Amino acid sequence: MAPGIRLSPAARSLFDEPLAIAVQGLGPRQQVTLRTSLRDETGELFQASARYQAGDDGELDLARCAALPGGSFSGLEPMGPLWALQPQKPFWRLVKRDVQSPFLLQLEVLEGHGERPGRLLAQAQHERAFLRDGVRRVPVREGRIRATLFLPPGEGTFPGIIDIHGFGRGLSEHRASLLANHGFATLALAYYQFEDLPQEPKELHLEYFEEAVNYMLQHSQVKGPGVGLLGSSKGGEVSLAMAAFLKNIKAVASLNAPVVATCIPFSYKDKIIPNLALHEHRAKLTNSKFLDYSDISDDVFQAPGNQSLIPLEKAEAQFLFIVGQDDHVVKSEYFATEVCKLLQAQGKENFQILSCPGTGHFIDPPFFPLYHIGSHPIFHKRAVLGGEPRAYSKVQVQAWSQIQAFFKKYL
């Protein structure tokens, strides 16, 4: 029997779903290299390779066989061929802009463990998709709102979530599309540098975000009486400000977000939350010659009455703070811990913290590769973003299931 790659699901899976990989038809205890690759939408190549030895029966099942040292990962890591993908262009991030087309994953089994790969023994390709059959993608241009709504299959009503990304141009849909596959009506909301939205806003008006909340609550397929917010980095900060000032916010999952206004002040009606000053000169150069920006802001918790602190004690929502212990962009664990102490002091218990070891600033849905050194979201210089691939791959799965459980509970 010629060697062959067996995948389950066979031809297509969702990007956040596990993929079972096995190789059949090898020689007893044969040494092989498994190489995976995909190209992003700009054509940049991401690759991973791992060294394996088949069993006595010539079978290689990644759920039972540990990868040997010397590849992109080692040990029992059934999803290693995906989470260990690394860009061939240094400091490049895997991004999905068009969620209507899948990523195409290539798998190759090569003879031996040499630095130069041996003969090709088997190959396969597999689609990693972002939309389950029946999920609807609806562009939204209502009033000032610039967004995309993803609706799960069926005619029923669904818990509503507004997904707000951090600094980064345009409209990001990958996380919202994946959430809709799990039964949530999810609005991916742009708030600057998209179509006719401001390029460089001087203030973020919470009235704009309030319009998005009202749009969701008036939608015939969104189950009221309130919505959830999912925000990362600046988007998490926006979500926290929305919870503090707007009605009908039931649950907020905040990923590595400041609990203060940063870079751009917030305004709502006659109230302004001024932004906290960032001192770029405080960035440190690491041994690897990259910048570390983790200590560039003043400590609002050491300055009582600081006006930049978002007044979360006014919020009625439940909070889930997901924080990377190795975040080098925002002191997210410290921020979450301190703000929860303030809430506790006011007799509130509407919060939980998921503190994630080996995790840096970017927390993507499962199986996106770690982006640990790259462009700083604000200063656009090469910087340490944090994280370690294996630990992060575990956190992605845990955080993603916790986010869904949190919204199911409170929406």
The question of whether 295 is a catalytic residue gets the answer: no
H-assigned helices in 109-164: none
Is 327 a residue of the active site? yes
Active-site residue, selected from the candidate residues 361, 364, 372, 393: 361
Q: Is residue 109 within 8 Å of 52, Cβ to Cβ?
A: no
Q: In the structure encoding, which two tokens stand for residue 391, read together?
A: 């630990």
Would you say 119 and 83 are in contact if contact means Cβ atoms under 8 Å apart? no
159: nearest Cα among 351, 350, 410:
410
The CA–CA distances, whole Å, from 293 to 109, 225, 234, 297, 330 equal: 42, 40, 15, 9, 8
Instruction: Judge whether 244 and 387 are in contact, CB under 8 Å.
Output: no
Q: Which residues pair with residue 273 across a beta bridge?
A: 266
- Distance (Å, whole) CA 12 – CA 105: 10
- Written as six digits, the tokens of 370 are 């770690």
Question: How far apart are the C-alpha atoms of 252 and 162, rounded to whole Å?
Answer: 10
* Phi, psi for 339 (deg, rounded to 5): -70, -30
From the list 248, 262, 251, the residue with the least C-alpha distance to 293 is 262
Phi and psi of 263, rounded to 5°? Answer: 65, -50
Which is the catalytic residue, given 163, 292, 327, 364? 327
In whole angstroms, how large is the CA radius of gyration of the chain? 23
Selected catalytic residue, list 232, 233, 294, 297: 233
Task: Tell me the C-alpha to C-alpha distance, in Å, between residue 307 and each of 203, 304, 346.
Answer: 15, 9, 18
- Tell me the helices (H) and strands (E) count for the chain, helix number first: 6, 24
Structure tokens at 206: 């919470």
Residue 223 has phi, psi (to 5 degrees) of: -80, 120
Q: Which residues are catalytic?
A: 233, 327, 361
